[in-house]
Amino acid sequence: MTDMVTLIARTTPLERELKTASRTVEESDLPRLGELYFTAYEPGVAGASLQAAMDDMQASLAGKYGQFLPKASHVALDENQKIVAAVLVVERAIGDDTPETPFIIELITDREHRRQGLAEDLVLATMDTLFNEGQQEVALRVEESNSAALALYLSLDFRRWMPEEDDD
Residue 33 domain-assigned?
no
Alpha-carbon distances, residue 158 vs 95, 105, 141 (angstroms): 20, 15, 11
CATH classification at residue 152: 3.40.630.30
Helix (H) or strand (E) holding 24: strand 22-24
pTM for the model: 0.91
pLDDT at 28: 93
Mean pLDDT of the chain: 90
Q: Report pLDDT digits (tens) over 132-146.
A: 999 999 999 998 988
CA dist., res. 5 & res. 29, Å (int): 29
Look up the domain containing 98 and give its range. Answer: 4-26+66-160
- Mean of the pLDDT values across residues 29-43? 89
Q: Report pLDDT digits (tens) over 107-126.
A: 999 988 888 889 999 999 99
